[in-house]
Structure 1
Amino acid sequence: MKACWYEKTGPARDVLQFGDIETPVAKAGEARIKIYASGINPADVKLRSGFSTYGYNFPFVIPNSDGAGVIDQVGKGVAEELLESRVWFFNGQRLGRAYGSGAEFITLNTKYITPLPEGIPFDEGATLGIPAMTAYHSLFSDGPVAGKTVLVTGGSGAVGFYCVSLASWGGARVLATVSSVEKGENAKIGGATDIINYKTEDVAHRIDKLTNGAGVDRVISVDFADSLPWLPKVIKKNGCVVAYASDTDRSPQIDFFSFMRNNIQIRPFILNALPQKHLDDAQFGINKWLNESPSALRPVAANLPLSRMIEAHELVESGSKFGTVVVSP
């Protein structure tokens, strides 16, 4: 099969290769998917660059965790009825797995595979995976959001946009922070009612005015350390902040009492360490959203041929895109 891979970490142009390798065979509990679209996340380029490793030590790695395609082979213990099913998947290059979706085929445990509703194109299906799963768990693991006020930081990002969309679908009032007017317009498409430009505005002051001093029920943070100076000022008593990254500072110091006195919960998480029930809940919830909101935007920043993986990874790293960069075999 055609595939991209790297044998050492580093810049995309220095390490990514493209060629032919052996086609995998589904093992017990697995299905093989003929990939029609492979989604590239920031975490994927961090792994390739060496910024993150997750303890990988393999002769070579096929990048990218997410994708969409059609099941063409099943292993022992997997129902043959799944053959020819359209699916989306996540955790391809995670959890000790070196062989991701940057290829024509992938074999994967069926617990990471979800039916792709008819009418959803494969490239849009490939944008789900880690971004939508992370967004769903961030929002709903503390209960329904209907009638609540949710603040999403980075509301135009891959995860942030899905947070905005899912929170709006769930019945929340959604506030979003962004860094430009253009990104603010993107967040509005997802359903944000109020936009805060953190480059030009005092976030805490603006939220105070927007909520008449009440604050927000939940904050979904793309960078906990960066949000930390104003977080305890904007969250209601018994509210929470859920953080799925903290790239500015991985070891931030917090004013413990400022959170404790209002019983504000701080909950960091990483998708690949969640219990299976939480993953199942997210997969089910995302498909419910897809079926109830078929016209919702699932942004594809670019769809490039698999052979242009270098360009695709560089586009993700540029920070200039809106949505998920996809490559198609």
Structure 2
Amino acid sequence: MRAITYDRYGGSDVLQLTDLPTPKVGPDSVLVRVRAASVNPVDWKVRAGYLDGLMDTTFPVVPGWDVAGVVEKVGLDTPELQVGDEVYGYVRKDWVQGGTFAELVAAPVRTLARKPASLSFEEAAAVPLAGLTAFQSLERAGVRAGQTVLVHAAAGGVGQFAVQLAVARGARVIGTASSGNHEYLRGLGAEPVAYGEGLVERVRALAPAGVDVVLDYGSDDLVATTRAVLADGGTVASIVDAAARDELGGHYVWVRPSASDLAELATVIDSGRVTVDVAQVFDLADAAAAHEASQTGHVRGKVVVRV
């Protein structure tokens, strides 16, 4: 099978298109014929070696954790899925090696769910990591109808899912973003506010009594800002700053693969309450360019690789 691999840490130039054997399929895994994968910031951070102290790596590595495709073969004990099922998933394993930038990937069933029927494979591949991160942080923070929720980096890859999921739950959402993304956030159902000096005053002008939940996907001075805008009894969840847990008594969230959470996401997406923004689509051979596009940090929506 064709796959993108790298045999050492480095820049995008270490990525190469190569041929690998078909992956073996364990008892609780299925073989997925990959139709699309997507790039997340963690992918190029892993490639650069930034997570070497956290996860074991076995070279050569096939990058990528997001996938959408079709089940081609099932393991010995996988009643959840059958050959021919269209699936999507966050295929993060316990070590870094066999990722999704390949024609075939062996994926544990705990990492997969049936693809949202309303999405193309390219759109579905854009969902798992970012969508699960948003979903699980909302769950940890207990976001529910009637609350006012402040979302930091609301126009980012995770933030845009969080905004839509919170709105779908009946929450009022205030989202921080640069001025160029304010109209975009209004379209998602959020009330936008600008980053930077005066943020606390701008949030308080919209929510004089404070906000019930702060969801942090990238902010400056989280502790001081949260203390200034959070209502009594409110909570905070962050994916970037452990101070949310350690200093503010909230939650620090590292996304987990979850078939059940993916299935819930698919239901919300197919209901029309969450849309998926694909910024660019690259061919598998152009994976290095896809990594570079993500690494600029200026892409709104997901970068997808078509296989």
Q: Same fold (TM over 0.5)?
A: yes
* Selected match of 1:307 from 285, 292, 295: 285
**Which deviates the most, 237-246 or 53-62?**
53-62
Asked whether 1:316 is paired with 2:300, we answer: no
Distance change >3 Å, CA 89–CA 52, structure 1 → 2: same
Amino acid of the structure 2 residue aligned with 1:216: V
Q: What CA distance in whole angstroms lies between the structure 1 residues aligned with 2:283 and 2:246?
A: 48
Correspondence list, 1:100-249, <5 A:
100-178=99-177, 180-192=178-190, 194-199=191-196, 201-211=197-207, 213-223=208-218, 226-246=221-241
**Which deviates the most, 114-123 or 306-315?**
114-123
Distance change >3 Å, CA 240–CA 79, structure 1 → 2: same
Question: How far is 1:117 from its partner?
Answer: 2.7
SS at match of 2:10: coil
Q: What CA distance in whole angstroms lies between the structure 2 residues aligned with 1:162 and 1:254?
A: 22
Amino acid of the structure 2 residue aligned with 1:269: V
What is the aligned residue count? 306
CA contact (8 A) 1:5 1:17 kept: yes
CA contact (8 A) 1:184 1:195 kept: yes
Question: How far is 1:311 from its partner?
Answer: 0.3
CA contact (8 A) 1:303 1:327 kept: yes
Task: Give the aligned CA root-mean-square deviation in angstroms.
Answer: 2.1
Distance change >3 Å, CA 184–CA 80, structure 1 → 2: closer
- After TM superposition, what 4+ stretches of structure 1 lie above 3 angstroms from structure 2? 223-226, 252-256
Question: How far is 1:233 from its partner?
Answer: 0.7
For normalisation by structure 2, the TM-score amounts to 0.93
Q: What CA distance in whole angstroms lies between the structure 1 residues aligned with 2:250 and 2:148?
A: 17
Question: How far is 1:187 from its partner?
Answer: 2.0
CA contact (8 A) 2:113 2:259 kept: no
Q: What CA distance in whole angstroms lies between the structure 1 residues aligned with 2:162 and 2:51?
A: 24
Amino acid of the structure 2 residue aligned with 1:147: G
For normalisation by structure 1, the TM-score amounts to 0.87
Deviation track 1:234-271 (CA, whole Å, cap 9, x = no partner) reads 0111111100113xxx7x69995xx5xxxxx3210211
CA contact (8 A) 2:117 2:270 kept: no
CA contact (8 A) 2:67 2:91 kept: no
Q: What CA distance in whole angstroms lies between the structure 2 residues aligned with 1:62 and 1:16?
A: 9
Q: What CA distance in whole angstroms lies between the structure 1 residues aligned with 2:244 and 2:276?
A: 36
The aligned residue for residue 90 of structure 2 is 90
Q: What CA distance in whole angstroms lies between the structure 1 residues aligned with 2:240 and 2:81?
A: 39
* Selected match of 1:282 from 261, 286, 289: 261
Question: How far is 1:224 from its partner?
Answer: 6.0
Greater fraction strand: 2
Question: How far is 1:190 from its partner?
Answer: 2.0
The aligned residue for residue 63 of structure 2 is 63
Amino acid of the structure 2 residue aligned with 1:196: V
Amino acid of the structure 1 residue aligned with 2:305: V
The aligned residue for residue 297 of structure 1 is 275
Deviation track 1:75-110 (CA, whole Å, cap 9, x = no partner) reads 111239611011111034x42141111111100110
Q: What CA distance in whole angstroms lies between the structure 1 residues aligned with 2:283 and 2:168?
A: 33
Q: What CA distance in whole angstroms lies between the structure 2 residues aligned with 1:91 and 1:244?
A: 19
The aligned residue for residue 78 of structure 2 is 78
Asked whether 1:266 is paired with 2:250, we answer: yes
Point out which structure has higher relative CO (alpha carbons under 8 A, 6+ apart).
2
CA contact (8 A) 2:35 2:103 kept: yes
SS at match of 1:61: strand
Q: What CA distance in whole angstroms lies between the structure 2 residues aligned with 1:60 and 1:164?
A: 38
Distance change >3 Å, CA 289–CA 311, structure 1 → 2: same
Task: Identify unmatched segments of 5+ residues in structure 1.
Answer: 260-264
CA contact (8 A) 1:224 1:243 kept: no
SS at match of 1:282: helix
CA contact (8 A) 1:74 1:80 kept: no
CA contact (8 A) 2:113 2:260 kept: no
Deviation track 1:129-157 (CA, whole Å, cap 9, x = no partner) reads 11000101111234342110011100110
Deviation track 1:36-68 (CA, whole Å, cap 9, x = no partner) reads 110111111111112223322312111110010
